[in-house]
Structure 1
């Protein structure tokens, strides 16, 4: 679509704004928006029933050179008119941080390691992982940098952002110093177990979902 500029009609909304990077570089942002757009659908997906807002974001430097390729965004849904083009752009920029959060939660907070057939239990586990991530964020001012043997030590109280991994290394010390309002656990006897004759309810069986195999082009099949 970027090569067919002459086919565009006038945008319904144009927004010009500026952004200053951490290094003090000023970026000019041009946001164009076309409302009530439609795309070609299929027999199963009637896309004419789902109008959307098309957003084009172009970032240039102070002399007009493009910093990145123009970015195209789609805002779709019944409440799309409540989201302005600048808000859509800023929300998409936060996707970078969200992806890092999911990656860290899977690798360091065991987000995907909890195996259960109960959806409610899985949702509770995800909430617990999110709470632990918030705890790491809240303790970032208390963390001390503990570098690995192969990492370069850095000065304390610097202006660099403390990552969740750095806080997690020192979180045991932070928790030990803060303490907990909970009482210490007490030992108890053996559980009485299930009552004799008690029957366990069987789990609901669900159909197995198999991923479809990717179609192979005829040329690759012939090779």
Structure 2
């Protein structure tokens, strides 16, 4: 008699094998070399320190020249791969809602003067409140978050920001296309809870909500502590002349006297932060100004109402003085239960940082010294496919722990520990890449002939926001427009 555990293992093995076949089908040029390169990243011992060292992994049966040629002249059907990532089993929240997180991470290339399309990327320095701008390639990545404490996410899409593009517009278009793919893949049906998009303070959350208003999507994002929102316009009294007001009284984040009584309040005890107190105020909106970002054919600026949530905690794990966190949610009429789920979903957004660290420190996403951004895009999609295979192999991998590591349950293995045993899982799946054919190396440059053609240099694109002087310390003025 077949047990439930054996059935789940066969289902997980089938999902992994199915994704590997679909991923191989997305490689349209030099597919065998690209597929074995991804297997080399999966099966390498330890972090990926150098791209050429992957040619020494047993799973990579080709030479190092084929490795570089695959990244330079290979092709990946990105649209097809996006559909494959949207079709794999995705995590859900406790209420069945799909929670998506979006963030921008940078592939820093400060010394790559011959690489085009570089942008000044914001990084944090070693000092307190020190910000450094370093040239690189920024990528906007969207993932599906898991409920509870976990370092796992489900990457769904990656878009490289091109110089001159508006990050908010690119992100809105990326989320729109992703939402349509999830609906087409059957991940969302009419009657299901709306998908929740969680963003940090770097995004204009009301604008994202306005651009995605025709999709089953709700937006939750952090706001700066110096914002000023407006309440709904008061009812017009009979016999009043003049234009009716569009905004009500001010809600100043830094002035408790303007808050009034919250519409919902809740409190709970947490393990890391102590007592968490949450208050929410419904139907608040920013007062928009006449900017080109809001004009889309209509002369009247919209009024985007939402819920403002303030989160206060008793302590921080680092021992620093805790500061309140202000959130803006595109929904209205929220209850105490809704508010409790929202702020916990926002805390789960930081799981994407664990994925970025694994990409850069273990899988070697930013290790190759690639010249063109097209090669960087090709390598980025390989890394996303590698991580997805690790996630699908969670229930199949054995815990090959080090002697100094603690024993972890099978369902609590980290991505790095799943990667240790992936070599044994790969042997159980079908080998899709064909055997390499013997060939001779090319003749190369004739002896005595020098390369007199210099490689073109490219300047770093500097956005208008990067030219502005940093704000001085002190009490900032409240931002009354958005």
Task: Flag whether TM exceeds 0.5 (same fold).
Answer: yes
Tell me if structure 2 keeps the 8 A contact 1:17–1:29. Answer: yes
Tell me if structure 2 keeps the 8 A contact 1:57–1:89. Answer: no
Corresponding position of 2:308: 55
Residue 36 (structure 1) shift? 2.2
Equivalence map 1:72-221=2 (5 Å): 72-74=326-328, 89=343, 92-154=346-408, 158=409, 160-193=411-444, 202-207=455-460
Tell me if structure 1 keeps the 8 A contact 2:266–2:279. Answer: yes
Which residue of the other structure, out of 4, 14, 35, is the alignment partner of 2:284?
Answer: 35
Residue 132 (structure 1) shift? 0.9
Distance 1:177 1:56, change over 3 A: same
Tell me how far apart the structure 2 counterparts of residues 192 and 115 of structure 1 sit (CA, whole Å). 25
Residue 193 (structure 1) shift? 4.5
Corresponding position of 1:221: none
Question: 1:23-69 CA deviation, whole Å, 9 max, x = no partner?
Answer: xxxx9965434532259xxxxxxxxx998757214489xxxxx7997
Tell me if structure 1 keeps the 8 A contact 2:394–2:411. Answer: no
In structure 2, stretches of 5+ residues that fail to align are: 1-224, 226-252, 271-275, 289-300, 317-321, 474-482
Tell me how far apart the structure 1 counterparts of residues 438 and 365 of structure 2 sit (CA, whole Å). 30
In structure 1, stretches of 5+ residues that fail to align are: 22-26, 40-48, 61-65, 218-223
Tell me if structure 2 keeps the 8 A contact 1:144–1:170. Answer: yes
Distance 1:159 1:174, change over 3 A: closer
Question: 1:121-165 CA deviation, whole Å, 9 max, x = no partner?
Answer: 2122222111111111011111000111212345xxx46422101
Tell me how far apart the structure 1 counterparts of residues 385 and 308 of structure 2 sit (CA, whole Å). 34
Q: Relative contact order (alpha carbons < 8 A, sep ≥ 6): 1 or 2 greater? A: 2
Distance 1:207 1:151, change over 3 A: closer
Does 172-181 or 198-207 show the bigger shift?
198-207
Does 164-173 or 108-117 show the bigger shift?
108-117
Tell me how far apart the structure 1 counterparts of residues 358 and 259 of structure 2 sit (CA, whole Å). 41
Corresponding position of 1:42: none
Distance 1:182 1:131, change over 3 A: same
Question: 1:94-141 CA deviation, whole Å, 9 max, x = no partner?
Answer: 321101100111110111112223122212222211111111101111
**TM score, norm. by length of structure 2:** 0.31
Higher-Rg structure is 1
**Aligned residues: CA RMSD:** 4.8
Distance 1:201 1:9, change over 3 A: farther
SS of equivalent residue, structure 2 residue 412: coil
**TM score, norm. by length of structure 1:** 0.60
Corresponding position of 1:8: 259
Tell me how far apart the structure 1 counterparts of residues 277 and 460 of structure 2 sit (CA, whole Å). 52
